[in-house]
Amino acid sequence: MGDDVSPEAARDPVCQMPVDPALYAFSAVHQGQTYQFCSLTCQQLFEEDPERYLPRQQGGTPR
């Protein structure tokens, strides 16, 4: 029930799995933001097309 994921936990933007930065060494930086991944596969998928996996930009001003 509810989310008990700690605020420090990151979420894999590709497969939506919660990932612990302390356990997973897969990461990529996109536009100044660091993203964590559960596996090298997810990292590579993200790097191929980051925009596809990014959450919608906040602010409600789509281009």
Residues contributing to the site for Zn ion (CB under 5 A): 12, 14-15, 38, 42
Nearer to Zn ion, 12 or 31 (CB): 12
Nearer to Zn ion, 39 or 59 (CB): 39
Length of the chain equals 63
Q: Residues near 8 by Cβ (< 8 Å), separated by ≥ 6? A: 21
Nearer to Zn ion, 17 or 51 (CB): 17
Could you tell me the smallest distance in angstroms from the CB atom of residue 18 to Zn ion? Answer: 10
Q: Cα 53 vs. chain centroid, distance in angstroms?
A: 8
